[in-house]
């Protein structure tokens, strides 16, 4: 016999325009039966009234449309970031404001086990806030000179190692000539390893094994805890390799009764032919479960703006750096689009620079001529530098966009001063233009690059403040209601899951974000500080422990 539970709440924000607010929601079989006042729901028959949220506000479960399971894996290492961050178990780790503080945090871990020989690993390190001084191997030798030490930067593109770590990686020698390995006055590497070519050979030696790149079982569970804490009920793993073992583990763990998140892994098209990627995605689609949704492809067109590896149109980088790199050839993009449109497979393309965006637009336009398709909802991910003309093309071609709102806060000042200059920094992550152009849009954290937290992303899109306090691009700000839609229904639309999630209405999954505070009445500048009780996912309540 099916049971019906009616949750009462101080307020229910539904994202359904025909009934934007309510006080009760009836749930049966993990789905929403009805929304309204208690009397409106009486016709569904006997129910259990659950009043645990009577003092709270419910809104649709938040949707993080650009994150990585790796966000859960990294917390087993020492957090070295500049800003306070909360681990999966709710412990707040204070931001480390000086290099000495970073060294001290790592040294404290080393001291816990004086006889230990394991490497000491840190992550989230962001020395741009420490001025000109670069971290070198002598700094990390202070952590330990008998254990390898490796510290991953927040960007994920630079690794610092101590002397032993460099030696184990085979890099402690003279005569090295590589742009990613700066040398000190002694002719030996300083300890910074920049870019994958320099970093990858050292990762294993400083204790970062392969599991940190994709989610292992512990990482999958820890990722879910981070989601609950952020009010998230559906999240992507945006660049998965989806090997058989990895996928079996994910499906098993996410299938457990207590697993609180719907994971949407995208197959990263790297080192495979477009036809293979599409074929594999079609096969993966059939393996989808309620909480693991498969069958989408991620393509990476270019690199990153702060790494000067994004492809920019004229006039290029503000500081004169040469243009960035193509990670996927436009021909391959056009081919995968053409085949995927034909097969009904969604493709999401990472385009950071506006030239990469332009190439993606050209490729999709060409692909649509060959494989006409309605409602493909291909997505441009990050798409940070797109201008208004490009948004008009996105609308015409049926594209969605997922903008990196958080980036604005963390690196907006660097974009303004160095990478792209004021004009283009102000138009970055143009939520207002996306809305005005009619392009369905979401906003994201790219966790673990920035912490998962859609309400923080909403705060970024609403206020567009940088870390130094500059309002960067006032015109591109959006209202609170628009931002709340972007982190629920907007994100669901870009994932083609809007028939199931994104709003609280009859027939959809009973996925709620449970808040102590009401975002619709809160001051816009306080959005990021709203208190989150936890989530309801598929009708199951999960308190942020």
Partner 1 sequence: MSELTGAQVPADGLAPLPTVVIGGYLGAGKTTLVNHLLRHAGGRRIAVLVNDFGEVDIDADLIVGQDGEVLSLAGGCVCCSFGSDLVGTLMALPERSPTPEVVLIELSGVALPAAVVRSARLVPGIDVVGTLVVLDAADVARQAADRYVGDTVRQQLADADLLLLNKTDLVDAAALPALRHALQALAPRAAWLPGAVAELPVELVLGWRHDPASDATGHDGPGTAAASVAAFASRPIAPTAGPAATKRAEAVFATRHAPLPTGTDLAALGRALVQPGLGVLRAKALAVDAAGQGQLLQVVGARWRVTPSRVAGPGRLVVIGLRGTVDGPGFGVQGLQFGADPQG
Residue ranges in contact with partner 1 by CB under 8 A:
170-171, 173, 175-181, 196-198, 200-201, 204, 270-273, 276, 311, 323, 325-332, 355, 358-359, 362
Question: Which tokens sit at 4?
Answer: 């019906």
Asked if 100 contacts 126 with a C-beta cutoff of 8 angstroms, the reply is no
Residue closer to partner 1 (CB basis): 351 or 494: 351
Q: At what angle do helices 244-254 and 217-230 cross, to 10 degrees?
A: 50
Question: Which tokens sit at 490?
Answer: 């907007």
Q: How many CB atoms lie within 10 A of CB 514?
A: 25
Strands of 335-395 (E only): list them: 346-351, 379-382
Measured from the CB of residue 145, what is the shortest distance to partner 1 in angstroms? 24
- For 298-312, the three-class secondary structure string (H helix, E strand, C coil) is EEECECCCCCCCCCC
Count Cα neighbours of 504 within 13 Å in the Cβ-side half-sphere: 32
> Taking Cα atoms as reference points, which of 64, 62, 66 lies closest to residue 383?
66
Residue closer to partner 1 (CB basis): 191 or 451: 191
Measured from the CB of residue 173, what is the shortest distance to partner 1 in angstroms? 8
Measured from the CB of residue 276, what is the shortest distance to partner 1 in angstroms? 5
Residue closer to partner 1 (CB basis): 330 or 398: 330
* Residue recorded with tokens 């208004």: 388
* Residue recorded with tokens 């096969």: 283
Residue closer to partner 1 (CB basis): 306 or 328: 328
Asked if 390 contacts 360 with a C-beta cutoff of 8 angstroms, the reply is no
The CA angle 359-363-368, to the nearest 5 degrees, is 150
Residue closer to partner 1 (CB basis): 228 or 356: 356
Q: How many CB atoms lie within 10 A of CB 541?
A: 18
CB neighbour burial string for 185-197, b if at least 16 within 10 angstroms, e if fewer: eeebbbbbbbbee
The strand pair at 540-543 and 48-50 is best described as: unpaired
Residue closer to partner 1 (CB basis): 355 or 498: 355
> Taking Cα atoms as reference points, which of 67, 448, 484, 407 lies closest to residue 235?
67
Measured from the CB of residue 517, what is the shortest distance to partner 1 in angstroms? 43
Residue closer to partner 1 (CB basis): 90 or 243: 243
Measured from the CB of residue 397, what is the shortest distance to partner 1 in angstroms? 17
Asked if 205 contacts 56 with a C-beta cutoff of 8 angstroms, the reply is no
Backbone φ, ψ for residue 350 (5° rounding): -75, 115
How far apart, in whole angstroms, are the C-alpha atoms of residue 15 and residue 485?
7
How far apart, in whole angstroms, are the C-alpha atoms of residue 545 and residue 524?
27
Residue closer to partner 1 (CB basis): 180 or 524: 180
Measured from the CB of residue 327, what is the shortest distance to partner 1 in angstroms? 7
Residue closer to partner 1 (CB basis): 97 or 173: 173
Residue closer to partner 1 (CB basis): 272 or 397: 272
Measured from the CB of residue 159, what is the shortest distance to partner 1 in angstroms? 13
Measured from the CB of residue 366, what is the shortest distance to partner 1 in angstroms? 12
Measured from the CB of residue 421, what is the shortest distance to partner 1 in angstroms? 21
Measured from the CB of residue 272, what is the shortest distance to partner 1 in angstroms? 4
How far apart, in whole angstroms, are the C-alpha atoms of residue 383 and residue 443?
11
Residue closer to partner 1 (CB basis): 270 or 283: 270
Rounded to a whole number, what is the distance in angstroms from the first to the last CA of the chain? Answer: 32
Measured from the CB of residue 208, what is the shortest distance to partner 1 in angstroms? 12
Measured from the CB of residue 521, what is the shortest distance to partner 1 in angstroms? 48
Asked if 363 contacts 376 with a C-beta cutoff of 8 angstroms, the reply is no
Residue closer to partner 1 (CB basis): 218 or 325: 325
How far apart, in whole angstroms, are the C-alpha atoms of residue 232 and residue 219?
16
Measured from the CB of residue 163, what is the shortest distance to partner 1 in angstroms? 18
Backbone φ, ψ for residue 423 (5° rounding): -60, -50
Question: Which tokens sit at 90?
Answer: 């709710």
Can you say whether residue 505 is alpha, beta or left, with left for phi > 0 and alpha for psi between -120 and 50 degrees? beta
Indicate the SS3 state at residue 129: helix
Q: How many CB atoms lie within 10 A of CB 100?
A: 13
Residue closer to partner 1 (CB basis): 24 or 205: 205
């Amino acid at each position: 016999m099916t049971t019906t539970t009616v949750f009462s709440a101080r307020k229910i924000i539904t994202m359904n325009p025909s009934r934007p607010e309510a006080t009760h929601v009836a749930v049966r079989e993990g789905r929403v039966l009805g929304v309204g006042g208690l009397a409106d729901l009486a016709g569904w028959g006997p129910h259990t009234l659950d009043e645990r949220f009577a003092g709270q506000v419910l809104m649709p479960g938040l949707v993080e449309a650009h994150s990585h399971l790796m966000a859960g894996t990294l917390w087993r290492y020492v957090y070295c970031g500049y800003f306070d961050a909360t681990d999966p178990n709710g412990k707040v780790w204070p931001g480390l404001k000086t290099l000495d503080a970073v060294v001290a945090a790592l040294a404290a871990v080393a001291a816990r086990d004086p006889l230990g020989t394991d490497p000491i690993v840190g992550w989230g390190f962001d020395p741009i806030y420490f001025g000109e001084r670069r971290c070198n191997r002598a700094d990390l030798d202070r952590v330990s000179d008998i254990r390898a030490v490796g510290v991953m930067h927040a960007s994920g593109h630079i690794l610092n190692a101590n002397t032993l770590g460099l030696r184990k990686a085979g890099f402690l020698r003279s005569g090295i000539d590589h742009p990613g390995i700066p040398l000190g006055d002694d002719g030996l590497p300083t300890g910074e390893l920049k870019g994958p070519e320099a970093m990858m050979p050292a990762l294993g030696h400083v204790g970062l094994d392969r599991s940190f790149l994709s989610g292992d079982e512990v990482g999958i569970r820890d990722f879910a805890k981070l989601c609950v804490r952020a009010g998230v009920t559906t999240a992507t793993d945006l660049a998965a390799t989806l090997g058989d073992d990895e996928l079996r583990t994910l499906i098993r763990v996410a299938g457990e009764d207590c697993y609180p998140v719907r994971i949407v892994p995208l197959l990263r098209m790297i080192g495979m032919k477009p036809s293979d990627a599409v074929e594999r995605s079609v096969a993966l689609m059939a393996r989808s479960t309620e909480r693991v949704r498969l069958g989408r492809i991620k393509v990476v067109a270019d690199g990153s703006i702060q790494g000067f590896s994004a492809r920019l149109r004229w006039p290029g980088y503000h500081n004169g750096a040469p243009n960035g790199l193509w990670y996927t050839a436009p021909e391959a993009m056009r081919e995968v689009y053409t085949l995927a449109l034909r097969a009904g497979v969604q493709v999401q393309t990472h385009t950071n620079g506006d030239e990469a965006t332009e190439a993606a637009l050209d490729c999709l336009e060409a692909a649509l001529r060959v494989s006409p398709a309605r409602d493909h909802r291909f997505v441009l991910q990050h798409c940070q530098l797109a201008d208004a003309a490009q948004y008009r093309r996105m609308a015409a071609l049926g594209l969605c966009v997922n903008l990196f709102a958080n980036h604005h806060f963390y690196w907006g000042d660097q974009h303004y001063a160095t990478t792209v200059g004021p004009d283009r920094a102000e138009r970055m992550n143009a939520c207002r233009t996306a809305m005005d152009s009619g392009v369905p849009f979401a906003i994201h954290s790219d966790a673990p690059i920035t912490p998962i937290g859609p309400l923080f992303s909403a705060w970024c899109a609403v206020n567009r403040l940088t870390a130094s306090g500059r309002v960067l691009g006032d015109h591109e700000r959006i209202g609170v209601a628009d931002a709340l839609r972007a982190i629920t229904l907007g994100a669901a639309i870009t994932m083609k899951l809007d028939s199931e999630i994104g709003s609280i209405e009859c027939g959809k999954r009973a996925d709620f974000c449970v808040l102590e505070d009401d975002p619709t009445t809160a001051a816009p500048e306080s959005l990021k500080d709203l208190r989150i009780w936890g989530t309801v996912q598929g009708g199951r309540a999960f308190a942020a422990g």
